[in-house]
A and B are shown apart, each in its own frame.
Chain A
Amino acid sequence: KAGVTQTPRYLIKTRGQQVTLSCSPISGHRSVSWYQQTPGQGLQFLFEYFSETQRNKGNFPGRFSGRQFSNSRSEMNVSTLELGDSALYLCASSLERPGSGANVLTFGAGSRLTVL
């Protein structure tokens, strides 16, 4: 069974640009969550989607957005990039609806974004 696939794995952008990251969840998983990992702030929750609906959102500015498609694939977008957006962006999928059961999240390898 294929795991969570994130593309691209690495990318470099300049300040002011925008970026779109993609996540393909494990087949059959309907929930997709996004987390940002930085050396300074650690792992921070961005947002979570279930059945194409955003169920929960973290404390990030409106420049960070996401969506989920009918096949459960998800994308996140960051507009007007800032130096501080440099991070590893991790996507995770789960079978259950968040809040039900053990909430077992399977993470992808991440997309490492560098903003120059």
Chain B
Amino acid sequence: GEDVEQSLFLSVREGDSSVINCTYTDSSSTYLYWYKQEPGAGLQLLTYIFSNMDMKQDQRLTVLLNKKDKHLSLRIADTQTGDSAIYFCARWGFQKLVFGTGTRLLVSP
């Protein structure tokens, strides 16, 4: 199947770490992605990971991939109010991006 699932909402305080989770069903996915969408804007690619990797770090962002459990997570360190947005997990499958439902992250001061 093409299902990519995410929790709908996450609320954190400024300065805390945020962890956004994603599960997928198709184990043939080669690349997995995290996109950010701010109000009224398109999708901004944050990072991506190849399926043979377990972890990827890029400044405040850490991606963890558990291929056995088909679980992907995005950790944002030192979360700021500017990080408030909707975060989409996506996998590359059938010659297209298959997106999750999106997680709305709210960062309070």
The chain A residues found within 8 Å of chain B, CB to CB, are 4, 6, 33, 35, 42-43, 45, 48, 55-56, 58, 90, 92, 98-99, 102-110
Q: Please state if B92 and A103 are interface contacts (CB–CB under 8 Å).
A: yes
Report the bound CA distance from A4 to B97 in whole Å. Answer: 17
A58 and B95 in contact, given A42-B102, A43-B88, A107-B44 (Cβ under 8 angstroms): no
A42 and B42 in contact, given A103-B31, A104-B48 (Cβ under 8 angstroms): no
Instruction: Please tell me which one of the listed residues A42, A102, A108 contacts residue B48 in the complex, with CB atoms under 8 A apart.
Output: A102
Q: In the complex, what residues of A have CB within 8 A of residue B43's CB?
A: 90, 92, 107
Q: In the complex, what residues of A have CB within 8 A of residue B45's CB?
A: 104-107
The chain B residues found within 8 Å of chain A, CB to CB, are 31, 35, 40-45, 48, 50, 88, 90, 92, 94-102
- Please give the distance in Å from A7's CB to the nearest CB on chain B: 13
Instruction: Please tell me which one of the listed residues B35, B90, B95 contacts residue A56 in the complex, with CB atoms under 8 A apart.
Output: B95
Instruction: Please tell me which one of the listed residues A99, A105, A108 contacts residue B97 in the complex, with CB atoms under 8 A apart.
Output: A105
Counted as pairs of residues, one from A and one from B, with CB atoms less than 8 Å apart, the total is: 51
A42 and B99 in contact, given A90-B43, A104-B48, A105-B45 (Cβ under 8 angstroms): yes
- Please give the distance in Å from B40's CB to the nearest CB on chain A: 8
- Please give the distance in Å from B9's CB to the nearest CB on chain A: 14
Q: In the complex, what residues of A have CB within 8 A of residue B92's CB?
A: 103
A108 and B88 in contact, given A56-B96, A98-B95, A103-B31 (Cβ under 8 angstroms): no
- Please give the distance in Å from B91's CB to the nearest CB on chain A: 10
Q: In the complex, what residues of A have CB within 8 A of residue B48's CB?
A: 102, 104
Q: Please state if B96 and A58 are interface contacts (CB–CB under 8 Å).
A: yes
Given A43-B97, A56-B94, 17 extra CB contacts under 8 A: A6-B42, A35-B97, A43-B99, A45-B98, A48-B95, A55-B95, A56-B95, A90-B42, A90-B43, A99-B95, A102-B50, A103-B31, A103-B92, A104-B48, A105-B45, A107-B45, A109-B41
